Structure 1
Amino acid sequence: MSVKRVFKFSLIFEFATVGMIGLLLVLMAVAIVQKAQITEVFSLDSRTLHLLSFSITQALLSTILSLLLGILFAWSLHYKREFWGRSVIISLLSSSLVLPSIIVAFGIIGVYGQHGWLSSLLGVFGISFGSIYSLKGIVLAHVYLNSSYATKALLDSLGSISLNRYKLSHSLGLSRLELFRYVEFTAMLPTIKGVARTIFLLCFSSFAIVLLLGGGPQNSTLEVAIYEAIRIDFDLQSAIKYTLLQMSVAFVIILLSSKNHLHLNSTNTKHIDLHFLKSRDISLLQTLLVIFFTLFFITPLIHILLDGLDADLSSLIGKPLFIKSLSTSLFIATLSALLSLPISLMISDLLRNFSLNYRLKNISFSLVPKLIITLIGNIYLAVSSLVLGLGFFLISLWLDFDQELISWFALIFANILLTLPFAISIIYPILYKIGSRYDRLLLSLDISFYDEWKFINLPHLKNALIYIFTLSFCFSLGDLGIIALFGNEDFTTLPWYLYSLMGSYQNSDASGVGLIMLVLTLFIFITGEYFANRFKS
């Protein structure tokens, strides 16, 4: 099938964009392989096997517990539609996706640490929570972040169940357990598979949480080991070995779950009256679950808020290093977010071109480029920011590039790749739907590329693009991956500055920076979500 004129112009830029990203990834792979010593890289000693085992164990535990909590909370919220503050709770759940990991770890320590709120309360009754700097702390922080994401995604799935299905189940005399098993769980299952993959991969390559809450080598993961091998030991062979091992596991997970995708739809807000299903005991259980999960989610945030207000903020915001960190973070976040929009649009449109009958779907080789494009768009789930940092570091050594310049580029590039899986999961379904509806009309009227995007595509994408810009900005603002490799006093961001303050026991300033990061992230995200909803078609 020939490529129609209306699509030729877009294909040039789309292929160029994907090609440049692919070329950079290939360059990094070549730099890694070129530097690797085969006998060293492929030797799996006891230390490496322990790192692999612990990485998988903590990711698996975090995924299972996040899903269990997510299912229970989503099920409870689905029925408690009149619960006071429900809309605020759902907004906070959405924001959990963009909360900086280092902030979460800071809040978890403040609530569950040795001198934390919960530990102090349990101490009154002679109960010890134990050390937070362990597998327990890592899993707790991961569950905090990811159960909220799972709840939001599963709540969307439950919202898609029609009232007629509930009425039919009621008329058939299904018990509440049977209703959950055959109707509600069935509706959630496709989302559970996709969310499970995403949570596992995010926890498997988690860095800031493990670095802060691991408590030592016995609780270290491959990701932290890569950082230590480069930054502390300068052992490139070990770093390359851990990188290849981590990437291999991640790619296997992605291939095994290739049909399961990220889920980021907006919550169904249409009111469904389920009074005929109400049971006093179950309603009480759902209320208690909502209260428990809400307290679990907001207490670390409240701790960050109160602790930050006790800091000397007026002195902090006048410090040159804080001003430099803030300005660098805002600049990188803004640039990353602006670049993420056209790149995610082009990749999503290229996927659409290989998926629709009136475009390139029917050509004999369409499946191969579609798989390659999908892999590149989701590469961050397999190749974490630290791995990207290692790749760029080796490129700078190999090609003798300026270290400072490569660090700026690496940080922005990693932030864009971090956004792509989420952006594509939002944009591609919209573009696919538009193409399915309007392609024949576009071809028959010979509509230009410019007019297609101005009058058809962009009006449908306004709210999605605002939301993606917000996501990308917040992701970039809180990332502690690549900056952990390249960060110093001349090149510092807010997360790196906060980590440095915590490492030097400047707790007051650390609390102040944590508060500023939290307020800034929530303000940007909530503002972006507000305008995205205003422009919603």
Structure 2
Amino acid sequence: MLPGLLIACLLLVLAAGLLSQLAIQPGVDSITAGNRLLRTIGWTTLQASLSTILSLLIGVLLAWALSHRPRFFGRTFFIALLSTALVLPTLVVVLGLVTLLGRSGWLNDVIVLFDGTKIPPFIFGFSGILIGHCYFNASFAARSLLGRFEAIPEPQRKLARSLGLSSWQSFKLIELPAIAASLPALATTIFLLCFTSFAIVLTLGGSPKYNTLEVSIYEAIKLDFDLGRALGLALTQLGIGAVLVALSTRFMADNSLIAAEQAHSEWGDKTPARILQWTIITSFSLLFILPLVAIAVDGYQSDYIRILLDKDFHRATVTSISIASISTLLVVAITVAMASAYTTLATTQRLGEAAASAIILRLLSFSSALFLAVPSLVLGLGFFLLARKIGGSYTIWSICALLTANVLMVLPFAFVTLAPAMIKAANRYDKLTFSLGVKGISRWRLIESVLLRSELVYIASIAFCMSLGDLGVIALFGSQDFVTLPWLLYQKMGSYRTQDAAGIASFMLLLTVFVFALLPRLFCRRKNATT
């Protein structure tokens, strides 16, 4: 338990040190008030609120439709794709959305065939930000809620059929209460992700009036080099984020992203409801898959040989894979330590009803969700200021900033995945292991490493993929000497070298899908072969 508590305290000390480093800089007071800042806060809150509402609405509808259509061709593949939404590189998806919905996109090509005119592009500006956020978060919401829908007991389904309840009555009386407990945690998580959104707003915003706090910090540093303004914005972001995370930890007790699917009978919906369900599934399938197909098609048409021989691409690939691999090891180790501490405190068989357990549990939950309060760009600003103050190798500071940001970025999702599974294993096997005197490394080798293998592989895969595609910190530290794949892709997009960008994006997409979708299958097969 002690290592997990020490790590949680170190994370909080890191956040406090970052806050103090930002607060003691000169020129902060001049920007922490004023109409401009209030407008930025108001807009950031507005877009996050609307994105959350739309994402939840679409996610609930899609999860409902999928739960009512338990058997159709490609269902398993589609659900697996929904799971990848959490780890898809943001810039890759943005490029796919622009290819699909931009001025010269596929949608306009189809419209020209029938009408001869093009519609104005709606992928940039307010609508583009909402589309980008809903693409990621609606998929995340649907995948998270699907397990809740499918966990509804079979007797309740039979009762609904025997009473002749309509689809709306079944949803209102049975399904909505079943998912209601998950909605607050899901809503707060999505809101915080949208509130701290960077890459989507930076690329699809299209105008400074749509800048969020995160993008305003980036522009203040990189474009204006106005550190006073950047510091004021960063402190504001930290303050608001910390309050939201502190309030949200009460909802995040059990929000595992790995939901158990179980076969069940259909609800017996009437024809109008079935038509609506198929419409929802088909529409969202097309909207989700087409941007990825667009990336694959454009990538196939790019000059892959020239890209693969490019020295910048080599350096970016080696740097990204190396940092993602190290980040993965750190995330798994830290998550295991913190989840073990959480399990010890939450399991009455180990410590009993300790008075301080509730407070320490809240501390562990808050420290695991720290990234939502301290987004990567704010963290990068702290490292940027330390690098200027202390000196030393700029590359080393960049690597430290990237590793720290990657760990904090993945930790909220990793912790809520592993902690509930570890508590379940403890409740099941604690009495047996205690009676046999099995503890420490022996217990981990015989019990946890076997029962938690799928969760650990899942955590490792999301850690690698999310670390591979993040643009936050590298947007501040990226240079000609230090390049990652997201930074190289952003440079290609910014210089309108779309074919090169498509080639790099398709490579990142292929690598992400391989790591996230295929590696867990290989581990599961190996596990089955050895048992």
Q: Which TM-score tier does this pair reach, normalised by the shorter chain?
A: over 0.9
1:467·1:532 contact (CA, 8 Å) conserved in 2? no
Instruction: Map 1:137-148 to 2 at 5 A.
Output: 137-148=128-139
Q: Quick one: structure 1 residues 431 and 226, their matched pair in 2 at CA, closer, same or farther if it must change by over 3 Å?
A: same
Once the two structures are TM-superposed, the CA of residue 97 in structure 1 deviates from its matched residue by 1.0
1:41·1:241 contact (CA, 8 Å) conserved in 2? yes
Return the alpha-carbon distance in structure 1 between the equivalents of residues 523 and 373 of structure 2. 29
Instruction: Report the counterpart of residue 322 of structure 1 in structure 2.
Output: 313
SS in 1 for 2:29: helix
Instruction: Report the counterpart of residue 469 of structure 1 in structure 2.
Output: 460
1:464·1:532 contact (CA, 8 Å) conserved in 2? no
AA partner of residue 146 (structure 1): N
Structure 1: 5+ residue stretches without partners: 1-10
1:100·1:479 contact (CA, 8 Å) conserved in 2? yes
Return the alpha-carbon distance in structure 2 between the equivalents of residues 295 and 131 of structure 1. 18
1:111·1:300 contact (CA, 8 Å) conserved in 2? yes
Which string of whole-angstrom CA distances, capped at 9 and with x for unpartnered residues, describes residues 292-316 of structure 1?
A: 1100111111111111111100011
SS in 2 for 1:39: coil
1:101·1:209 contact (CA, 8 Å) conserved in 2? yes
Structure 1 residues 430-439 or 493-502, which shifts more? 430-439
Once the two structures are TM-superposed, the CA of residue 127 in structure 1 deviates from its matched residue by 6.6
Q: Quick one: structure 1 residues 127 and 501, their matched pair in 2 at CA, closer, same or farther if it must change by over 3 Å?
A: closer
Once the two structures are TM-superposed, the CA of residue 154 in structure 1 deviates from its matched residue by 1.3
Return the alpha-carbon distance in structure 2 between the equivalents of residues 362 and 271 of structure 1. 38
Return the alpha-carbon distance in structure 1 between the equivalents of residues 110 and 221 of structure 2. 41
Residue in structure 2 matching 1:14, options 4, 25, 49: 4
Which string of whole-angstrom CA distances, capped at 9 and with x for unpartnered residues, describes residues 225-273 of structure 1?
A: 1111112222122112111222222233323333322733434432212
AA partner of residue 49 (structure 2): L
Instruction: Report the counterpart of residue 183 of structure 1 in structure 2.
Output: 174
1:467·1:528 contact (CA, 8 Å) conserved in 2? no
AA partner of residue 148 (structure 1): S
Instruction: Report the counterpart of residue 253 of structure 1 in structure 2.
Output: 244
Instruction: Report the counterpart of residue 105 of structure 2 in structure 1.
Output: 116
Structure 1 residues 309-318 or 346-355, which shifts more? 346-355
Instruction: Report the counterpart of residue 230 of structure 1 in structure 2.
Output: 221
1:492 aligns with 2:483: yes
Once the two structures are TM-superposed, the CA of residue 382 in structure 1 deviates from its matched residue by 1.5
Instruction: Map 1:362-441 to 2 at 5 A.
Output: 362-441=353-432
Instruction: Report the counterpart of residue 35 of structure 1 in structure 2.
Output: 25
1:226·1:243 contact (CA, 8 Å) conserved in 2? yes
Instruction: Report the counterpart of residue 60 of structure 1 in structure 2.
Output: 49
Return the alpha-carbon distance in structure 1 between the equivalents of residues 191 and 173 of structure 2. 26
Instruction: Report the counterpart of residue 262 of structure 2 in structure 1.
Output: 270
Instruction: Report the counterpart of residue 81 of structure 2 in structure 1.
Output: 92
Which string of whole-angstrom CA distances, capped at 9 and with x for unpartnered residues, describes residues 84-112 of structure 1?
A: 21111111111111011111111111111
Which string of whole-angstrom CA distances, capped at 9 and with x for unpartnered residues, describes residues 341-386 of structure 1?
A: 1110001111112222233453332333222221111101111110
AA partner of residue 100 (structure 1): P
2:85·2:139 contact (CA, 8 Å) conserved in 1? yes
Instruction: Report the counterpart of residue 95 of structure 2 in structure 1.
Output: 106
1:172 aligns with 2:163: yes
Once the two structures are TM-superposed, the CA of residue 21 in structure 1 deviates from its matched residue by 2.7
Which string of whole-angstrom CA distances, capped at 9 and with x for unpartnered residues, describes residues 55-99 of structure 1?
A: 111111111111111111111111222222111111111111101
Return the alpha-carbon distance in structure 1 between the equivalents of residues 263 and 201 of structure 2. 41
Structure 1 residues 16-25 or 484-493, which shifts more? 16-25
Return the alpha-carbon distance in structure 1 between the equivalents of residues 378 and 488 of structure 2. 21
- Using structure 1 for the length normalisation, give the TM-score: 0.93
- Using structure 2 for the length normalisation, give the TM-score: 0.94
Q: Quick one: structure 1 residues 361 and 351, their matched pair in 2 at CA, closer, same or farther if it must change by over 3 Å?
A: farther
Residue in structure 1 matching 2:16, options 22, 26, 32: 26
SS in 1 for 2:500: helix
Structure 1 residues 374-383 or 258-267, which shifts more? 258-267
**Stretches of 4+ moved more than 4 A in 1?**
532-537
1:111·1:118 contact (CA, 8 Å) conserved in 2? yes
